[in-house]
Amino acid sequence: MVPIEIRDVSLIYDTPGGKVPGVKDVTLNISASEFVCIVGPSGCGKSTLLNIVAGFLSPAAGEIRIGGKKVDGHGMDRGVVFQDFAQLFPWRTALGNVAFGLEMKGVPKDERERIAHEQLRLVKLEKFTASYPHHLSGGMQQRVAIARALAYNPAVLLMDEPFAALDALTRDDMQRLLADVWRETRKTVIYVTHNVSEAVYLADRVIVMTPHPGTVKAEIRIPLPRPRDPLSVEFLDFQKELLRHLGHGASASEPTKANGKTTA
């Protein structure tokens, strides 16, 4: 897998109401096969940064290198999963959605369907290959989206709050599933979330961003062994540390925690 270098990246949105900074001077080095979570207050620029790395936005200043190669537009070295369930193509079955990237790559039909089946099995949806997205629950749709982003085997996986719209229980399951998938595939992952416990559960390293306009405020390494126990003292300590960086203090009645991972 490949490393990602983000150097002095800034972006300014041009809106009718004037110029709005999106992100400011973000520098970040991510090693190959590392799982990095980005947390920060709403509106600080997490999605903006991810979209720059994905190549959907081009930065006003700075540059991004993936595997040493400068990013210029989107490319198949990166798979993207958005927060929105609506990202799946309603006119394709789960299998058709997952096979899309392979189809674009020119992989023959039999081969791509075999791989798509495989990916859907990885996210435990092998029974729903023929279903259209509107017949799947939100959590299932997000799993299809993950399978879809993995299917054409990109070196990098970019995820923007993929589980934010799910209920707490489904979310727990999905986090566990994602941790497993990552262990198997060893992609380099950038994962945006505003859920502190999710970040501690998943990440090798958590990047905390400042409020808008966002820049890197702190980096916290999470050296806990996997699979992680969200009820362990160490886990909770990291959670508290993150909350402190986010300016929430460390009180036990912290609301963010209520959304967090509470089942073992």
Partner 1 sequence: MRDAVTAIAADHAPDRSHGSERLRLIWHNIFPFVVVGAIWEIIAWTGIFPRRLFPTLEDVATAFVNLTITGILPHHAIETVIRLLTGFALAAIVGVTIGVLMGRSRRAEDIFLPLVSIGAPIPGLAYAPLFLLWFGLGNLSSVLLVGFVSAFPIIFNSWTGVKAVKEIWVRSAQAMGANDHRLFRHVILPGALPYILTGLRLGLAQAWRILVAVEMLAAVPWGLGWLIFGARKFLNTDIMMAGIVVIALIGIALEKLVFQKIENYTVVRWGMISS
Residues in contact with ligand ATP by the rule CB under 6 A: 13, 15, 20, 22, 40, 42-48, 194, 212
Query: Would you count residue 90 as binding partner 1 (CB under 8 A)?
Result: yes
List the alpha helices (DSSP H) in 75-188: 94-105, 109-122, 138-151, 168-185
Report how many residues bind partner 1 under the rule CB under 8 A.
Answer: 29
Least distance from ligand ATP to the Cβ atom of residue 244, Å: 19
What is the CB neighbour count within 10 angstroms for residue 161? Answer: 19
The 10 Å CB-count burial string (b at 16+, else e) for 185-203 is: eebbbbbbbbbbbbbbbbb
> Could you give the CA distance from residue 3 to residue 123 in angstroms, rounded to a whole number?
25
List the single partner that 212 binds among Mg ion, ligand ATP, partner 1, none, CB under 5 to 8 Å by kind: ligand ATP
What residues between 47 and 86 interact with Mg ion by CB under 5 A? Answer: 47
Helix (H), strand (E) counts: the chain? 8, 10
Q: Which is nearer to Mg ion, 115 or 206 (CB)?
A: 206
List the single partner that 134 binds among ligand ATP, Mg ion, partner 1, none, CB under 5 to 8 Å by kind: partner 1
Least distance from Mg ion to the Cβ atom of residue 4, Å: 19
Query: Would you count residue 250 as binding partner 1 (CB under 8 A)?
Result: no
- Binding segment for partner 1 (CB under 8 A), chosen from 1-9, 61-69, 132-140, 177-185, is 132-140
Residue 33 in tokens: 């096969």
Burial class (CB in 10 A: 0-12, 13-18, 19+), 184: exposed
Contact positions vs partner 1 (CB under 8 A): 54-56, 74-76, 78-80, 82, 84, 86-91, 100-101, 103-105, 132-135, 148-149, 152
